Amino acid sequence: MAVAAARRVRDGDVVFVGIGLPSTACNLARRTHAPGCVLVYESGTIGAKPTRLPLSIGDGELAETADLVVSVPELFAYWLQGGRIDVGFLGAAQIDRFANLNSTVIGDYDRPRVRLPGAGGAPEIARHCREVVVVMRHAPRAFVERLDFRTSSGERVTAVITDLGVLEPDPATRELVLTELQPGATVEAARAATGWPLRVAPAVRRCDPPTAAELAALHALEAA
């Protein structure tokens, strides 16, 4: 998944990075095919070049290696809302067929079964980045017919990367369509893991497996 997500970053892209897999993916991209990409973390570190994977968005090394460190209000206003971010990465507990996301509650808002962390940067990342890539594990409890709560909109999502493959929005209807499969994954498995009747592209591509160079870079990052 990290490799598939990393491949979505073009050299020179300005990328808004969240914790976890997106951070791994963006750092991997910077070490491989996109050395000129600019990492922006919501803690205010712009152009961070960490030597090891940060454990949080507020890691000290992000501040030390950044081109500039700005306040959080400035980051969200001048840089994100200001339209200066090419790609934003998001994850969530639930996603629907239009790539709307839920990271707020499972169940009722007023008395939830599970209280999730909440919106954070998601609504504005979803709205102001030129494009958004979602990274999530493919499972029926995540890929749902109807979200329990709509935290952010899928309006700018260009790809959903899962452990089974890649989904991309239909240009006309914006409904997610399975377009790629990870090595070893099947259309049947993807359908079974999706809580709505999953649309499948007429010719589903097979994701190229990670190259030796990508794997080496990934291992180096994780071991640092």
Contact assessment for residue 44 and residue 27, using Cβ atoms and an 8 Å cutoff: no
Provide the sign of the torsion angle of the four alpha carbons 201, 203, 204, 209, taken in this order: negative
Stretch that binds another protein, among 5-13, 59-67, 156-164, 171-179 (CB under 8 A): 59-67
| DSSP-based three-state secondary structure for 202 | strand
Stretch 112-151: interaction string toward another protein, x if CB under 8 A: xxxxxxxxxxxxx--xx-----------------------
**Cβ at position 26, least distance to another protein in Å:** 16
Q: Which C-beta is closer to another protein: that of 75 or that of 181?
A: 75
Q: Is 42 a catalytic residue?
A: yes
Contacts of 62 (CB under 8 A, 6+ apart): 41, 43, 45, 48, 50, 54
Q: Where are the alpha helices (DSSP H) in 18-145?
A: 21-31, 60-65, 72-74, 122-128
Which position among 51, 55, 183, 222 is part of the footprint of another protein (CB under 8 A)? 55
Report the Cα 105 to chain-centroid distance in Å: 20
Contact assessment for residue 224 and residue 52, using Cβ atoms and an 8 Å cutoff: yes
Which position among 33, 47, 69, 195 is part of the footprint of another protein (CB under 8 A)? 69
Stretch 75-94: interaction string toward another protein, x if CB under 8 A: xxx--xx-------------
Stretch that binds another protein, among 4-12, 109-117, 129-137, 170-178 (CB under 8 A): 109-117
Q: Are strands 165-169 and 176-181 parallel, antiparallel or unpaired?
A: antiparallel
Would you tell me which residues interact with another protein (CB under 8 A)? 19-20, 42-45, 55-60, 62-63, 69, 71-73, 75-77, 80-81, 104, 111-124, 127-128, 153
> Could you list the active site residues?
42
